[in-house]
Structure 1
Amino acid sequence: MSVRLIVRTFSEFCITVGALIVLFVVYVLFWTGVKAADATEGQIDTLRNQWAQGTVSAPAPHTSPTAAAPPAPAAYRDGKPFAMLYIPRFGKGWEWPVLENTEVRTLQKGLGHYTGTARLGTRGNFAVAGHRRTYGDPFKDFPKLRRGDAVVLTDGTTWFTYRIDKKPYRTVPSDIGVIDPVPRKSGFDGTGRYLTLTTCDPEWGSSHRLIAWAHLDATQPVTDGKPAAFHS
């Protein structure tokens, strides 16, 4: 085989590899975002349609001690949306659906609620995961979170405003104590109504996790309009 043929073959190989790399980068940076936008809009539409039809049960009214206990709320449906989450710090149009479980295919449609952690607004730790990059980059600006920032959620009947307690904490993926009912390293003392947000770190890697903890600060019916956190 001549040197010229070897050089030409190697050059063609490099061009092919380069083209594949470019296509992969386009897929990661652009196409996953396009797919996520479509999927996320679909989940948001599903939620809004359910809420418009009144298929989300309102909170049970206060009952006397002698009255029969109200039925337990229905479990979140696996892989399905049940709430919307807003972080004003990330911009006016930042809104994402929260779905049940943190499987790969679920996080391609929105944010994922860690199955087994608390329900929204209840005692314990309501824990949520989201991509830092790819699939819409929901938590791209995660490091910007600061003490006092609002994290607002709604289940269609109630607004829940949580407040971040400290800037994000960096740990490793095996540190599952961060989503305990009273999350370790959070500084929380005793049982409360907590929120944990998790995402990958570094920005384009997954060797570590960034964690943000918050406590429930206020609730109000959706009929009262949006909470003050949206206007501050």
Structure 2
Amino acid sequence: MRVPVVQHSTRRRSARRRRALWSGGELLVTVGVVLLLLVVHQLWWTNREARRGAERKVEALERQWGNGGTAGDNADSGDTSTPSATQHPSTNTNTGSGTRQQTTTARQSRPNWSRAYAVLTIPRLGLRVPVAEGVSKQNVLNKGYVGHYRGTQQPGQAGNFALAGHRNTHGEPFRYINRLRAKDVVQVETKNATYTYSVDKTLPQTSARDSGVIRPVPRSTVKPGYGYSEPGYYITLTTCTPEYTSRYRLVVWGKLVSMRPR
């Protein structure tokens, strides 16, 4: 019987193939672990840290307002005014002796760039989050804050108080704003007053470049059937959609219904 002869070169080739397969397998496992850690970091750790930071900022603002302090955001170029009750039919306040209409105009300072200066509360979503000036990801949104579009109005002012927030990761404060319905309450607290808005309309999806939704009289330039045609006191909430993408924008609008001085 003939015995097969295995040459040394054949053995070496087989050993090299085994080493290559082993090394490739190790590389794939390493890449998989790294990707898993990145996912955990994005979906869990960033949310945890951003939410904790946002909660601490809300508490700090409330302490400063309670002590009569300024909340850390002084005027940088003068004051802007918010409407008085005589300028808007619904801005009444309740006192121990009944309902008393406000006749003085509330004043508020322009917030400094990237600094938290207000608190947004949405009871339906169990949300209570700081509002900061600007929509920078690094300096505002990634901290778990909601950002105010610079150039739009401030809380309670005639025009459009427009906000942006993450829908996923970094605290994801606006993850569930698609659940808001007409007449749901949205409140904005500043060191001077609490402004209450009532949800009015929702635009489920529009282009990320649809600047019409944050204009003083908000109306979509992509879907003109969504929006308003008359001046008013509006709030706009914007976030990315669908979830885990940034291709489109989801928009929720509301109208001011009351203003209560602090």
The TM-score, its normalising length taken from structure 1, stands at: 0.84
Aligned residue identity for 1:138: P
What are the equivalent positions in structure 2 for 1:191-206 lying under 5 Å apart?
191-206=231-246
Task: Kindly indicate whether the alpha-carbon contact (under 8 Å) linking 1:143 and 1:168 is maintained by their aligned counterparts in 2.
Answer: no
1:113 is matched by which residue type in structure 2?
Answer: H
Paired with 1:169 and 1:4, the residues of 2 have a C-alpha distance of 54
1:169-206 deviation line (CA, Å, top 9, x unaligned): 31111111110000113432321110000001111110
1:153 CA displacement: 1.0
2:64 is equivalent to residue 53 of structure 1: no
Q: Output the aligned Cα RMSD.
A: 2.3
Contact 2:82 2:107 in 1 (8 A): no
1:23-172 equivalence runs, <5 A: 23-56=37-70, 73-91=108-126, 94-105=127-138, 106-109=140-143, 110-172=145-207
For each residue in 1:105-140, what CA deviation from the matched residue of structure 2 results, as whole angstroms up to 9, or x when unmatched?
Answer: 211221100111001100010000000010112111
What displacement does 1:61 show?
Answer: 11
CA contact (8 A) 1:198 1:209 kept: yes
Indicate if the aligned counterparts of 2:82 and 2:108 stay in contact, CA closer than 8 A. no
**Given the alignment, which residue of 20, 32, 51 partners 1:6?**
20
- Structure with greater Cα Rg: 2
Counterpart residue type for residue 27 of structure 2: F
CA contact (8 A) 1:146 1:168 kept: no
Q: 1:189 aligns with which of 214, 229, 250?
A: 229
The 3 A distance-change label for structure 1 pair 157 and 143 is same
CA deviations over 1:49-70 (Å, ceiling 9, x no partner): 320221349x8998xxxxxxx9
SS in 1 for 2:109: coil
State the distance in 1 between where 2:121 and 2:137 align: 22
Amino acid at match of 1:200: C
| 3-state DSSP of counterpart to 1:136 | coil
Distance (Å, rounded) in 1 between the aligned partners of 2:128 and 2:56 = 13
Paired with 1:103 and 1:189, the residues of 2 have a C-alpha distance of 30
Q: How many angstroms apart in 1 are the aligned matches of 2:200 and 2:182?
A: 5
How many Å separate the matches in 1 of 2:107 and 2:218? Answer: 25
Give, as a single letter, the amino acid of the residue that structure 1 aligns with 2:164. A
- More strand per residue: 2
Go from structure 1 to structure 2 and tell me whether the alpha carbon gap of 1:89 and 1:40 turns closer, same or farther (over 3 Å shift): same
Aligned residue among 191, 197, 207 for 2:247: 207
CA distance in structure 1 between the partners assigned to 2:214 and 2:41 by the alignment: 32
Q: Mind listing any 5+ residue stretches in structure 2 that lack a counterpart?
A: 1-12, 75-80, 85-104, 221-225
| Alpha carbons 2:106, 2:192 under 8 Å: kept | no
User: Which amino acid letter does the alignment assign opposite residue 155 of structure 2?
Assistant: L
CA distance in 2, matches of 1:130, 1:141: 11
Q: TM-score, normalised by structure 2?
A: 0.75
Q: Which amino acid aligns with 1:146?
A: R
List 4+ stretches of structure 1 deviating above 6 A: 59-62
Secondary structure of 1:167's counterpart equals strand
> Distance between the aligned counterparts of 2:43 and 2:68, measured in 1?
38
Instruction: Work out the percentage of aligned pairs sharing the same amino acid.
Output: 38
Q: Aligned equivalents of 1:128 and 1:151: distance in 2?
A: 12
